[in-house]
Structure 1
Amino acid sequence: MQIYRVGGAVRDRLLGLPVKDIDWVVVGSTPQAMLDLGYQAVGKDFPVFLHPNTHQEYALARLERKSGHGYTGFEVQASPDVTLEEDLLRRDLTINAIAEDEQGNLIDPYAGQDDLAAKVLRHVSPAFAEDPVRILRLARFAARFGFAVAPETMTLMRQMVIDGEVDHLVPERVWQEMAKGLMEAQPSLMFAILRECGALAKIAPEIDALWGVPQRADYHPEVDTGVHVMLVLDYCAAQGWPLATRFAALCHDLGKAVTPADVLPRHIGHEARGVPLVERLCQRLRVPTECKELAVLVCREHTLVHTAEQLRPETLCALFMRCDALRRPERFKQLLDACLADARGRWQFEQCDYPQQVFLLHLRDVVAAVDAGAIAAQCSQPQQIAKAVQAARIAAIAQAKLAILR
């Protein structure tokens, strides 16, 4: 029995990055032999075991044979006869097909080290085409490392899209990979690759439709809506903001790519037209509620937030209530962060001032300071309470706004 480190742990060590999780492959063993050594079986579809002391995962070397569509359509063969090279051959990318033995020697039959040095993502074998999730994973690695895609790999991915393999992706797995990619250093690269191979039009047509949609050059020197959204997304990543903020930034302009007849009449602004698209995208990909709710808020309110200093006190109060800003101040701050990213995610606007954020956060605190309980106690009739509290909040906003803009 021989044991090797494989995959991401070897790759990240060679790149000088922190190694988080270590995966091991075991050659020349059987499930029963692993159990006899005290390992605990955890894999249902694959022969995977937990080490009795470290609880790290050890997988028996295996072969895979395509038996259906999608990433679950495989038959697995694990036996002591499967070699390390055969196990590495079934992996997705050459940079993930490097092994390291217990003495620290590298086994690299598919030139993964060369591709690490060249910063290239290249498939190990034609078997890459058997699992559509690998397109998503490759795009995510591009967002993490900033690597380019080998021309032959891009050709293969395009053919996978044409052949309909991407159509068999399950929503949960698409969201899982997309969420991971959104949290990488440069998430725009993930979407660039998904667009180039044609996969984005299949898994998120609402996002894919943004490219080619022009905008006013005085507000958007980058002109193209898709380019703008990617700048916004990368700005969020540069700030280290959470997943919900990044997803909201991704979705904030979906309504701009919609012809009016698709969703709502022409007189409705792109913000309102975009909300049904955000909801449709979130429903199809089964996006978590936290991400969906913030994305809807940002899509619906971001233009109003940009004009906050010109709004009437009544409009500002209504904005706070729609956003539930008093009860959920953290989410309201995330909304404003996404709006800040929208303002700065433009060529030549990267460092622009955005006083709207400080302005609205201050007014939110002013509104929160209004003592609704005291006002209610002074009302002789219960039906008067809501109007009285609203009037007090509006008056507080008007007074504070006057002091700020004086």
Structure 2
Amino acid sequence: MREFQRFLVGGAVRDRLLGLPVQDRDWVVVGASPEALLKAGYQPVGKDFPVFLHPETHEEVALARTERKTARGYHGFAFHAAPDVTLEQDLTRRDLTINAMAEDEAGQLIDPHGGRQDLADKVLRHVSPAFAEDPVRILRLARFAARFADFNIAPETGALMQQMVQDGEVDALVPERVWQELSRGLMEAAPGRMLTVLRECGALVRLLPEVDALFGVPQPEAHHPEVDTGVHLLLVLQQCARFNHTLPVRFAALCHDLGKGTTRREEWPRHIGHEGRSEKLAAKVAERWKVPTECRELALVVAREHTHVHQSGGFGPEARLRLLERCDAWRRPERFAQLLQACEADARGRTGFEDRDYPQAERLAADLAATLAIDQAAVSSAALARGLTGPDVGRAIRLARLNALEARA
């Protein structure tokens, strides 16, 4: 007979109670030592604390543990995992009550912190004062607020988050964890709510001051009935979620208007030249949080070119060709398609514009298709046969592309 008990914990229990699909199942074992798990056939995988893989299901199993704060930041913890650590002690170290429930192997619910009631009441509430010891939990709560958009944050939890920010805890966050949580939050059903929660507790200005600076900055009401640039950003992100856009598109949307936060007040509500400033600030954000290359590159081209894409309905063939060239569309057609998605979300992310057509995307996609259809090898061969070399061959290809666009004009 084995000497330990195994419990399903965290998100799997929460999602089952909500009637949602259970994606990952995490287990905690109580009354076990690492040696006992190894003897039972479990495979060790943990570095910071003992985590094992079940010998049959290969699901992750962790030893019940407690933790003690030893220094500022995410890594400033000492863990204690031993057979005498109880399930209740393990659950108490977790972030939110809705994530601090467990089930035994018979399906019996263990809920020492009222998580089931908070699910019913749609409340995000911290489990214990230990929440304040880990600044990542601010980001996690903001992400859960983006996932469960109809949940409210308990007042005492909101106050605790504000105190954590004032104490400088978020300043110790490492880029990898910040990006992990931000990227997951951007992919939730209501990504703008993550920003709202971070802003309300004061964390947004510490983590993304370029985004925080957009709130309160006006835009021309004729084009932006919502006026406030920060509100516009929230609407753009919601359009990204509406159409299930990828993470690179959502990150590009997050960064597309950053330059408007640096417009001088005397120039409000116009933002001349904000595109170039947005590109520089997007690069700064990407570097700070070690954003993946695919996300960073798309964000830069969207920041720089989104206004030109919006205006392209009035462009002639030569101007459209230059736009395709600047976007490196022939070498990166997939990225160009993502650029158009981000621009459409930007155009629709305005009060009353949510369902308007965006013909620019269809037209530019057709432009790219027409120019990609050119037999480039044949054009090159013909140019070489005429005695052209080097740059002149490239100009012949460019002329063929221009002719293709003129045929569509």
Give the TM-score normalised by structure 1: 0.95
Shift, 1:391, TM fit: 2.2
> What residue in structure 1 maps to residue 320 of structure 2?
316
Q: Is the contact between residue 260 and residue 271 of structure 2 (CA under 8 Å) also seen in structure 1?
A: no
- Say whether 1:385 aligns with 2:390: no
> What residue in structure 2 maps to residue 358 of structure 1?
362
CA distance in 2, matches of 1:38, 1:368: 57
Shift, 1:129, TM fit: 0.5
Q: C-alpha deviations, 1:324-371, integer Å up to 9, x for none?
A: 212222111111111111111111101111111111111111222233
> What residue in structure 1 maps to residue 371 of structure 2?
367
> What residue in structure 2 maps to residue 168 of structure 1?
172
2:71 to 45, 68, 71: 68
CA distance in 2, matches of 1:365, 1:43: 49
Q: How does 1:220-299 map to 2 (within 5 A)?
A: 220-259=224-263, 269-299=273-303
Shift, 1:145, TM fit: 1.3
CA distance in 1, matches of 2:362, 2:208: 34
Letter in 1 for 2:357: D
Shift, 1:135, TM fit: 0.6
2:35 to 13, 32, 36: 32
> What residue in structure 1 maps to residue 9 of structure 2?
6
Q: C-alpha deviations, 1:34-92, integer Å up to 9, x for none?
A: 11111112112112111111111111111100001111111111122211111110000
Shift, 1:267, TM fit: 9.8
CA distance in 2, matches of 1:313, 1:211: 38
CA distance in 2, matches of 1:152, 1:295: 37
Shift, 1:398, TM fit: 2.0
Q: Is the contact between residue 336 and residue 357 of structure 1 (CA under 8 Å) also seen in structure 2?
A: yes
Shift, 1:118, TM fit: 0.9
Q: Calculate percent identity across the aligned residue pairs.
A: 62
2:131 to 108, 128, 134: 128
Shift, 1:396, TM fit: 2.1
- Say whether 1:102 aligns with 2:102: no
- SS of the equivalent of 2:8 reads strand
- SS of the equivalent of 1:158 reads helix
Shift, 1:106, TM fit: 0.8
Shift, 1:395, TM fit: 2.5
CA distance in 2, matches of 1:346, 1:105: 48
- SS of the equivalent of 2:80 reads strand
Q: Is the contact between residue 217 and residue 261 of structure 2 (CA under 8 Å) also seen in structure 1?
A: yes
Q: Is the contact between residue 10 and residue 98 of structure 1 (CA under 8 Å) also seen in structure 2?
A: yes
Structure 2 unaligned spans of 5+? none
- SS of the equivalent of 2:346 reads helix
> What residue in structure 2 maps to residue 178 of structure 1?
182
Letter in 2 for 1:59: A
- Say whether 1:193 aligns with 2:197: yes
CA distance in 1, matches of 2:260, 2:236: 15
Shift, 1:397, TM fit: 1.2
Give the TM-score normalised by structure 2: 0.94
Q: How does 1:141-156 map to 2 (within 5 A)?
A: 141-146=144-149, 147-156=151-160
CA distance in 1, matches of 2:408, 2:80: 71
> What residue in structure 2 maps to residue 404 of structure 1?
none
Letter in 1 for 2:379: I
Letter in 2 for 1:307: Q
Q: Is the contact between residue 122 and residue 153 of structure 1 (CA under 8 Å) also seen in structure 2?
A: yes
CA distance in 1, matches of 2:174, 2:219: 34
- SS of the equivalent of 2:52 reads strand
Structure 1 unaligned spans of 5+? 402-406
